[in-house]
Amino acid sequence: MATIDLTKYRTKLSDYVDKYENVKLVRKDGILEMTLHTNGDSMRWSRHLHAQLEELFLNIGRDRENKVVIMTGTGSEFSGPIPDPTQNKLLHKKTHDEVVELGWEVKNLLMNLLNIDVPMISAINGPVLRHAELPILCDIVLASETASFKDSAHFIGGLVPGDGMHIVMPMLMGTNRGRYFLLTGQVITAREALNIGFVNEILPQDQVLDRAWSLARDILQQPELVRRYARTLLTEQLRRQMTELLSYGFSLEGLGMTYADST
């Protein structure tokens, strides 16, 4: 019986390595490093970037040559900027069709991230001012001494704190701490994040990425199915919570968007 070649149906790095203008991708020995950026400097969150990451996470998960994934940023911040609350309120007023499109993307963004079935390490180079759920959903979270965490774009920016923030933050921080964080715009320093279990290690900024690579090489010593099944098992509770509550959270966030100018 002739051997059937199935590799032609698989996603390859060459299919997507140069596709995303806000993400630099480099792979060595099966370790994929993804660096989020805007014009080579710290990542500035945008609607365009949101769409890129939704598809990128899908492609990373479909590429069987990715064995460990490192997520990092560049420049002085991991993500930003802090939006002006008044302008943010106006920018986020959406039509029905816009809310429907964004809601589809929101669901797939985080589910595609969690469906990547190899271990993920985040190397947080500085303050995470927008969408802190992305790096802390990684299995190992490393933070520079300059890192801090803030949800600047949701409740204090005039939005219901959906997008999975309502799931991730209370789960990782504890219910009361999570709600306080989301409702007040609290800034959590790297040291505080370590104390509450938000991050696993704090390092000098110039050592964070090297430490991520060292851990990634250690992880590669395990057999492939051990790596993949460990990731699957250790993210199962998060996926269940996302399946149950993510769409509900965005539904309320989207409803709030349609009345963004009301008080």
**Domain coordinates of the chain in residue numbers?**
11-258
pLDDT of 108 > 80? The answer is yes
Torsional class of 128: left (φ above 0), alpha (ψ -120 to 50), beta (otherwise): beta
Q: How many CA atoms lie within 13 A of 245 on its CB side?
A: 16
Mean pLDDT of 165-191: 95
pLDDT of residue 1: 64
pLDDT tens-digit map of 18-49: 999 999 999 999 999 999 999 999 999 988 99
Residues with Cβ within 8 Å of residue 85, at least 6 apart in sequence: 156, 157, 158
- The closest of 201, 209, 43, 195 to 130, measured between CA atoms, is 43
Q: Give the integer Cα–Cα distance in Å for 203 and 74.
A: 16
Tell me the pLDDT tens digit for each residue of 136-166.
Answer: 999 999 999 999 999 998 898 888 998 899 9
**Per-residue pLDDT reduced to its tens digit, 120-140:** 999 999 999 999 999 999 999
Using DSSP's 3-state secondary structure scheme, residue 138 falls into: coil
Q: What is the pLDDT of residue 130?
A: 92
Q: What is the pLDDT of residue 23?
A: 98
Q: How high is the mean pLDDT of the chain?
A: 91
Does domain 11-258 fall under CATH 3.90.226.10? My reply is: yes
| Active site members | 133
pLDDT at 261: 55
- Whether 243 shows a pLDDT value over 60: the answer reads yes
pTM of the prediction?
0.92
pLDDT tens-place string over residues 50-77: 999 999 999 999 999 999 999 999 999 9
| Residues 248-260 pLDDT 10s | 988 888 788 776 5
